[in-house]
Amino acid sequence: MKTVLLAVPHYVFASDLLRTNYIKYLSEKYRVVVLSPLFDGAEAKKRGYWQSPNVTYQKWDLENPSLWDRMKFWRIALVNEFDYLASIKHFYKRPNYQDSWKRRLARTLGLPFKKFLTADFFTRLEQKKIKPSPAFDEIIKSNNIELVITATPGFSPFEAEMIHLAKRVGLPSVAMNFTWDNLTMNSKHIRKTDYLIAWNEVMRKEASAIHNYSPEKVFVSGTPRFDPYFAEDKKDPGRIKFLKSKGLNPDYKTVFHTTVTKAYPFQKKYINDLIKLRDSKKIPYVNLLIRAHPLDLIENYSEFKNIPDFCIEKSGKEVEMSYDDLLNLKYSLKYTDVNVNYASTITIEACIFDKPVINIGYLDRFALAYEFDHYRPIYESGAIKLAKTDEDLPRLINLYLENPGRDHDQRLAIVDKYVQFTDGLSYKRSVDYLEQII
């Protein structure tokens, strides 16, 4: 049996890779060394990660932190090849770029050399600068590892280190869990793995067009993260029991609002808007189910306690979602009537359950998210409605509550294009593809 190294940089990816069928199936076909900066074998067992004679967990302390810090600065300042992407144009307008005179100065000084200062140039530079690692070499040699698997193509320092160290010892690498916005939003930070496993054909084409991947090096597996949505399970409580478990009234329809990270200041405004719209009867009296993003702070919403027919809950613990948390999201989508979110992947997930989606887009620069290359096709497809003003939100909620079948065909088209596989076996395709590499 061959051995692979699975690099898990943080708990978001631990949710996808270590609490699902992915690790179970991977360990049926390969011996697996899971390397992470977060946990060792004892901690992995304590956290309830998959245990098997074919799986070992080892902790890895980052060996080149200062290198990755320097490269982040220089990549942001000097890589210009992706400036045509809407998300990159937007980045240069953000305060965290505008407030850094060093970045702005470096960008100006580097403009005459932008033809040469590419992401690939910095990847080659990193390869020369990274220190040899006897510890990594020992892990590879003692376990006879033949492939390094990362979640993304080097967007985090940990994954960057794994990819570069793999190149040093001549091991192939493959990224298999990056999301639909990564190839555009994080384009400056890509360290090319030898292979990619993408969600869909859209991402496969982006890998080729934006990052010059050879098409034969990019495989489409579907989205392992979405597999639980398509699997029948005995835990399904049904609509009435599910809503009652949240303190909600099954006699009412339910608006499901999903927040984004704590970095966005407008979260409470949307929740207050929904409560006021309900109380003023501008929309029917509905249940309000609020899901706080894993990177949001649930304590920021303490003022909403004790509101009737209202539930706010955090997604998982410590940013990580257990399999039960994934099922809870599944039922939240399945047993609610309208989803309201800000430019989120939840839009695609709601389309899987054929639920109407209203996107929030009327707050200054944050509305620019709907122009980003990954999201603009969703908006232009007609699968969602965009609330551009305060008055739009109640109008669109009423529109969809009265006719939930509206835009059904467009939502179905989004599922066909962005989800592609609906059999719940994307994890299996992703693992099976590895046979073509090693």
pLDDT of 318 reads 63
User: For residue 220, which phi and psi values (nearest 5 degrees)?
Assistant: -105, 120
Is residue 417 pLDDT above 90, yes or no? yes
pLDDT of 298 reads 78
Residue with tokens 């592609």: 420
Is residue 98 pLDDT above 80, yes or no? no
Instruction: Give the global pTM.
Output: 0.93
Rounded to the nearest integer, the mean pLDDT of the chain is 93
Question: Do β-strands 55-59 and 31-36 pair in parallel, antiparallel, or remain unpaired?
Answer: parallel
pLDDT of 365 reads 59
d(CA 50, CA 58): 14
Whole-angstrom CA distances from 357 to 162, 265, 383 are 39, 22, 8
What average pLDDT does range 164-185 have in this prediction? Answer: 96
d(CA 72, CA 163): 16
Q: What are the residue ranges of CATH 3.40.50.2000 in the chain?
A: 3-64+123-222+423-436, 231-419
Is residue 263 pLDDT above 70, yes or no? no
Question: Do β-strands 254-258 and 338-341 pair in parallel, antiparallel, or remain unpaired?
Answer: parallel
Do 372 and 361 meet the contact criterion of CB atoms below 8 Å apart?
A: no
What average pLDDT does range 373-394 have in this prediction? Answer: 94
Question: Do β-strands 145-150 and 173-175 pair in parallel, antiparallel, or remain unpaired?
Answer: parallel
Is residue 433 pLDDT above 90, yes or no? yes
CATH topology of domain 3-64+123-222+423-436: Rossmann fold (3.40.50)
Is residue 152 pLDDT above 80, yes or no? yes
CB-based contacts of 328, cutoff 8 Å, min separation 6 = none
State pLDDT tens for residues 247-257: 999 999 999 99
Is residue 328 pLDDT above 90, yes or no? yes
Residue with tokens 């409580």: 237
Helices (H), 144-186: 157-168, 182-185
According to CATH, what is the number of the domain 231-419?
Answer: 3.40.50.2000
The helix/strand/coil state of 271 is: helix
Is residue 317 pLDDT above 80, yes or no? no
State pLDDT tens for residues 273-313: 999 999 999 999 999 999 988 777 778 788 888 899 999 99
Least confident of 1-10, 282-291, 306-315, 362-371: 362-371
Is residue 58 pLDDT above 90, yes or no? yes
> Confidence class of residue 210 from pLDDT cuts 50, 70 and 90?
very high
Q: What secondary structure does DSSP assign to 96-133, as a single string?
A: HHHT-HHHHHHHHHHGGGTTT--HHHHHHHHHHHSPP-
What average pLDDT does range 88-96 have in this prediction? Answer: 80
Residue 202 neighbours by CB distance under 10 Å: 17
Least confident of 62-71, 189-198, 320-329, 346-355: 320-329
In terms of Cα–Cα distance, which of 169, 127, 130 is closest to 148?
Answer: 169
Least confident of 45-49, 112-116, 260-264: 260-264
d(CA 253, CA 22): 35
> Confidence class of residue 35 from pLDDT cuts 50, 70 and 90?
very high
Is residue 96 pLDDT above 80, yes or no? no
Determine what percent of the chain is predicted with pLDDT higher than 70.
97
Torsion of CA 203, 222, 382, 329, to 10 degrees: -120
Torsion of CA 324, 329, 333, 336, to 10 degrees: 80
> Confidence class of residue 264 from pLDDT cuts 50, 70 and 90?
low
State pLDDT tens for residues 134-146: 999 999 999 999 9
Determine what percent of the chain is predicted with pLDDT higher than 90.
79
CB-based contacts of 216, cutoff 8 Å, min separation 6 = none
pLDDT of 265 reads 66
Helix H or strand E segment including 414:
helix 408-414
pLDDT of 270 reads 84
Residue with tokens 């690790």: 23
Is residue 156 pLDDT above 80, yes or no? yes
